[in-house]
Structure 1
Amino acid sequence: MLFPVPEAAPFSFPTGIAVPGALPRATEDLEVDGVPDVSAELYRAVLDGANAAPGWLGDFAVFFTEAGVVALGLLLVFGWWRARGEDSRAMAAALLAPVITILAYAISEVAKLVIEQDRPCRAVPGARPLAECPGVGDWSFPSNHSTIAGAAAMAVFMCRRGKLGVTALCLGALVAFSRVVVGAHYPHDVLVGFLLGVAVVGGALDLVARRTADLVERYRPHPLLGRVLGHGPAGTENPAGASDDDTQVLVATPASVATANEDTTHLSATHPDTARLDTAPTRPIPRFPHGGHGPGGRPSMPPPPHGPSPAPGQARRH
């Protein structure tokens, strides 16, 4: 070999200098046992973006993740208030919405105890959550917050369809996503939790409301429960204590009699044609059987014969 060739030495760019066209450096291993790799990578990407955002935005995310659930609860209360003037089925759905939401939460809590997936704020290397990481034993999958948000949002949507229902669903989805932003859950935690709440309420609320609408209709006339159940649509309410067949017993009192006499006098003055009406009270005519005795022991008179009475002094011809 005429000319010596120097041995090639490895070359690396200095850390922190961006070189166009250069491949990114390998990041730390994000593999977590029992967690999809894509979910762990999305979690780390969202959390890094949240840490890079302005401080006030991170503080708002921490506030919103709790306040959003409260806002959905207030929408449920608003739905109950509006249902007081609607039919029995709507009121039954408004009353059962919180109950079925709690049922969805209970299902998610049981799933947590069975699966026992650790929180990403402890399992993912380099994670810096915005909110305080829950303690050991407070498992991650599925997200309870997301389950409650999905159930409450779906309940509002079924009770208050239209713009309010769509707004509730969007609000519930944002609450679920905020759990990833603050670093408390993986993306698949909140997705499964949200869909669980929507499925439980969507499958049970309408069915149970139809079966309990009769109870609402029965107890709406109650003087105490009627304040909670409302009077229903305008023109269909029943007075408190009225029977189902709308039969009312009228009891005459001195005040009602005096009022009736005043109304009769006013009617006679304004309408002269009614003056001919005989308003004097009548007494029933006593009736006695043939051969019986009337008052005072006097024998009762037999009924008069049919036909014209004979003239005085003339006998009736047979």
Structure 2
Amino acid sequence: MPPIPDVPDASAAALARILALLTGAPDRTGTVVALAGELALLAVVAGWTWLWWRGRHSGPATTATVLAVPVAAVIAWQLNELLKDAFAVDRPCRLLAGFPAWGVCPDPGSWSFPSNHATVAGALAVGVLLVALRLGARTVGAVAVLCGLAAAGSRVLAGAHFPHDVVVGFTLGGMVAFVTLTLVGTLAARLRPGHPAVRR
């Protein structure tokens, strides 16, 4: 395979192998896979909604942490948009030779690196995991991470992204969620009545 500018050879080769496994797939395959990814992302949001309902009477610090999850997702998405514009790497459908007709091919100018879907999935999944651990709902957290990974991975299976787009995006989103929830949780704890910082 000839080198593709701005795309690691291993990532391009991995995507080519994945798509080759689906040779002869029906025309709607990419659309169906992408839809499955959206449903997986909605499952993560459902997990967050359940945690919000369960923790609504757990105190302001917990409430603030729960509400910080969608905030972290928005921050991660905006940061990802800046990176996409800075790198301006085109989609696999226009860079990869032999791209299948059923693959997802966004319009020109919709850049590939990093993946927005994976970034949002990473932020939501890690955010839900952290809240779930705080509320003692480990199963919900584990399911959220699995669904988040499925949502991110679907972008590769649909042909919309190279694997490294998704790995970097998911990691970025997860890091933003971890930092955001940690800062919000710490600040909320310090501002609660009775805390030494408040008494001063």
What is the TM-score when the length of structure 1 is the normalising length? 0.55
Structure with more of its chain in helix, by fraction: 2
Q: Per the alignment, in what secondary structure is the counterpart of residue 160 of structure 1?
A: helix
Contact 1:92 1:216 survives alignment (8 Å):
no
Q: Select 1:91's aligned residue among 63, 67, 71.
A: 63
**How far off is 1:88 after superposition?**
2.2
Match of 2:187 in 1: 211
Structure 2 residue identity aligned to 1:132: V
What is the alpha-carbon distance in structure 1 between the residues aligned to residue 59 and residue 9 of structure 2? Answer: 50
1:53-87 deviations in Å (ceiling 9; x for gaps): 57887664232122222222222222211111213
Structure 2 residue identity aligned to 1:163: T
What is the alpha-carbon distance in structure 2 between the residues aligned to residue 50 and residue 89 of structure 1? Answer: 48
- The change in CA–CA distance for 1:216 and 1:99 in structure 2 (over 3 A counts) is farther
Q: Per the alignment, in what secondary structure is the counterpart of residue 127 of structure 1?
A: coil
Contact 2:127 2:178 survives alignment (8 Å):
yes
Match of 1:172 in 2: 148
1:99-178 mapped onto 2 (5 Å cutoff): 99-128=71-100, 130-161=102-133, 162-178=138-154
What is the alpha-carbon distance in structure 2 between the residues aligned to residue 129 and residue 143 of structure 1? Answer: 21
Structure 1 residue identity aligned to 2:64: A
1:232-268 deviations in Å (ceiling 9; x for gaps): xxxxxxxxxxxxxxxxxxxxxxxxxxxxxxxxxxxxx
What is the alpha-carbon distance in structure 1 between the residues aligned to residue 102 and residue 28 of structure 2? Answer: 12
**Higher RCO (C-alpha under 8 Å, 6+ residues apart):** 2
What is the alpha-carbon distance in structure 2 between the residues aligned to residue 138 and residue 56 of structure 1? Answer: 21
Matched, 1:80 2:52: yes
Structure 2 residue identity aligned to 1:89: A
- Percent identity, please: 37
What is the alpha-carbon distance in structure 1 between the residues aligned to residue 101 and residue 177 of structure 2? Answer: 31
**How far off is 1:189 after superposition?**
0.2
**How far off is 1:51 after superposition?**
3.6
What is the alpha-carbon distance in structure 1 between the residues aligned to residue 91 and residue 72 of structure 2? Answer: 27
What is the alpha-carbon distance in structure 2 between the residues aligned to residue 58 and residue 111 of structure 1? Answer: 25
Contact 2:29 2:102 survives alignment (8 Å):
no
- The change in CA–CA distance for 1:31 and 1:117 in structure 2 (over 3 A counts) is same
Gaps of 5+ in 1: 1-28, 218-318
What is the alpha-carbon distance in structure 2 between the residues aligned to residue 171 and residue 96 of structure 1? Answer: 20
What is the alpha-carbon distance in structure 2 between the residues aligned to residue 58 and residue 121 of structure 1? Answer: 12
Q: Per the alignment, in what secondary structure is the counterpart of residue 85 of structure 1?
A: coil
Matched, 1:187 2:156: no
Structure 2 residue identity aligned to 1:38: A
- The change in CA–CA distance for 1:174 and 1:30 in structure 2 (over 3 A counts) is farther
What is the alpha-carbon distance in structure 2 between the residues aligned to residue 46 and residue 61 of structure 1? Answer: 13
1:167-226 deviations in Å (ceiling 9; x for gaps): 111111111111010000000000000000111111221221231357787xxxxxxxxx
Q: Select 2:4's aligned residue among 12, 32, 38.
A: 32
Gaps of 5+ in 2: 194-200
Match of 2:21 in 1: 49
- The change in CA–CA distance for 1:139 and 1:57 in structure 2 (over 3 A counts) is closer
Structure 1 residue identity aligned to 2:73: T
What is the alpha-carbon distance in structure 2 between the residues aligned to residue 131 and residue 62 of structure 1? Answer: 10
Task: Identify which range, 29-38 or 171-180, moves more after superposition.
Answer: 29-38
- The change in CA–CA distance for 1:99 and 1:81 in structure 2 (over 3 A counts) is same
